[in-house]
A and B are shown apart, each in its own frame.
Chain A
C-alpha cells in the first residue's frame, strides 16, 4: 500500500505519463475514443495505486478461507484440490447420455452434470402432445424412475457428485435420484450433488416455466427443508446468474440479480422458520464466464465479498460456512459463433481461465459446435481437455487469487460491487425480487442490455471475429444428430412402465400429493414415495398445475 505522502509524487508521475500519452496519440491515434468492457462498462487506459487507495486489505480482501472471502472460500483453494470438471451433458435417451457420462469420466471428468430435454424441464412426459418434435433433442429424456436408473447405470452414486439443471420439477428429479441411489444400495446421507431449483431466474431469464412465483417458492423451500434434515450433502439451490447473463444482462446485472434472488430465497426459508446456519451452507451459485477477461474475474471476486456481507450483516448469520459463496461456472454460450466455429475453442479457453482466476469450485467448458447442436463426443473431448490443460500445464492453479493487488482488477472489483449494490437497493425499494419480477423490472433491464449489445455488434463498435470482422466462408463441421429411433424407444419404454407398474398405488400417491399440495405439508416425502412406484414426472406436475395454476410468460420485448 502506498502512503498518503507518496500520492503527490504519484499524481505528478501520472501527469507526466498523460503528457507522453498525448504526444504519442498525436502521432498514432488511439484505437478507440472510449474503451469499455463487453458489458459496456467504461474503463481507464491505466490504473495506479491511487485507484485503490481506500482499499483496506483486511476488510475488503483478506485471506483465502476467511471473511469476506474475496480471495477464495477455502484456505488452500486449488493447491489442495482442483476445481471439479463438470461437463453439462444430455442427449437423446438415458442410454446415450449414460454412455456420454462414462466417456467423460474415463477421460478425466470429475463430476456429472445432467442436461434434460425440454419436456422434462417443463414437466411433460415424452408422450405428451406438448413434447412433439422435442424428445431427446436438447438434452436427455427422463419420464420416470426407470429412465433415472438407466441414466446412472454402472455409475456409483456414492462416488460421484451430480448436478441437475432442473427447475420447476426439481423436487421430482431429486426424488428420482434419491430412489435410484437407494436401488444401488446408497442411502440419501451419502449422495452429493446439486439441483438448480432456482425459479426466480426462470421468470427473469431462462423461462422454463410451470407454476406462478409463490407456489414455485413453496416447492423450493420444501426441498431446502427436506434436504437440510435428510440429504445433508445436497446443494439445494444453485442460484444462477448464468441464464440471466446469457439472456443479455451485463456483468453487473448478472451479479446483482443473482444475489437479489439469493436474498429472496433466504427470506423465504427464514419465513418457514428454518435455521439460517443450517440451510445456508448448502445454497450454491452458478455464474457465467463471458469473454471480457478481467470483468469476469472482478465480478466473481465481488460476488464472494458481497454475499459474505449479505449473509453476515443483512441476515445476521453466525456460521462462516453460511457466508461462503460457492459457485459453478459455465463459459458463455452466447459468446460463441456459428461462423468459423473452431475459434470457439479459443474463446472458451479464455473464459475458462477467467473462471479459474475468479476462484470457481466447478466448471463446464462449452464445446465448439454448440451454436449448431448438442456437442459431438469429439467436441466435448476438446472442451474437457481445455480444462485439463489449464489445470495441469499452465501453472495458473499454483498460487491463490494471483490477480489480487492488481490496481486494475481491484478497482474493477470495487466498481462492479458498487454498481451491483445500487441494483440490489433498487430491488429492495421495489419490495424484493418477486415484486420486481411482477413489474417486469429485471426482464426489461436485461432486454435493454441485449438490444444495446446487438446494436454494438451490428455497428462494429464491438468486435466479433468471423461475424463482423475477418469474415470468411468456413466449411461445415460435423454435428450431432439424434437418431429418430431414440424417440420411439423412449415412448415404448414409457408405455411399458405405465402398464407394468401398480396403477392403483400410483393413483393413491397422486391423491396424497394433491392433498399435501392443498395443505402445507412438506411434499418431498410424498414425491419420493410416488416416484418409487414409477409415477411419471408429468403425472405429478399435472397435479401441481391443477392445484397451483400455471404461469404464462408476459411476452414483452
Chain B
C-alpha cells in the first residue's frame, strides 16, 4: 500500500504543484494518476521514490514514512519505468536488465540468466538479448524498460507515461501484454498518464487530478464513468462515456444468443437449402467465425472474396460493449459471439443487449 497523507509540494517560486493530496494505492493493484498537463500527477508519483521531496505531508510505503529510509535504499525497492524507456545505450538488452542486480552484487551469470527469464516474461524474443537499445523499436525498448524495472523483483512499480511514446497499435499490444503480466506478478503499481482511455483500460483504481495539483476523484473506472464526482471529472472522462461504461459491464449467461447457420469456405450454397434472409456465417475449420456471406450473391462455391468482414466478433465472456459493438458493426444487425475457445456460439442483436442493460439498471436501483 502506498499512501499519501496531506501531501503538498510548493516550489520556491510559489507554484503549488500538488495541494493537500490524500489517497492510497492498494497493494497488488494498479492505480492510475490521470489529469491534464500541469496537474501535478507526475510530481506526485516522483514523491513516492523521493526523486522529489514533499514540502508537507507524509508519503508512506506499507506504513513506513519514506523520509525515514535512505533515498537510495528506497528507490531500490521501487521499479521505475519511464516514457522513452531511458535504457542505458552502452549496454546490451540483457545487460540493461541485469544492471541493477549486478550493481547490488549478484554474479554476472546469475543476473543474466534472470534477465533472460524476465525478457521472455515481457514478451521479447531471446534473439534481441545481445542487441543494443538503438537496434530496437520503441515498443521493444519499452518492454526492456519494464523487464529492467522488475529485475530485482521490487514490490512496488512506478510507471511514468510508459506507453505514450509508441504508435496506437503498438500501444494496445503493450497495454494488453502488461495487463497480463500484472495479473501474474501482482505488483503495487502507480502509473501516470494523460490518456483517460488508457487509465480506464489499465487501472484498478483511477485518481483524476485537476489543475493546481488537487485530487478531483479517486474511483474504479466503472464508478468514474457511472458517477463522476463533478463537472470537471465528467468532462475529463469525456464524451461517449455511456457507451464506454458498457465496457465494464460483463455479459452474463442471461444474454440470449440466437443460433446462426454456419457455412465453411468451399461449401456449396446449393447444398444448404433455404437460409433466413440469405445471410450465413462463414467459419473456419475450428468453427471460429470469419464473417458473413450473402448466399444470394455468392457464386456456386463460398470463397474468401464473398465474405463481409465488417462485423466484430464479441466473446461470450466479454463486456456488453463488445456485444453491442458486434451487433452495431454487423451487416445483418446480428452480432457474432464466440466462446473462449473461439468457436461460434451464436449471435445477439442490439435490442437484446440494451434489454439486458436495462435489467441491470433496474437491479442497481432496487438494491
A pairs with B: no
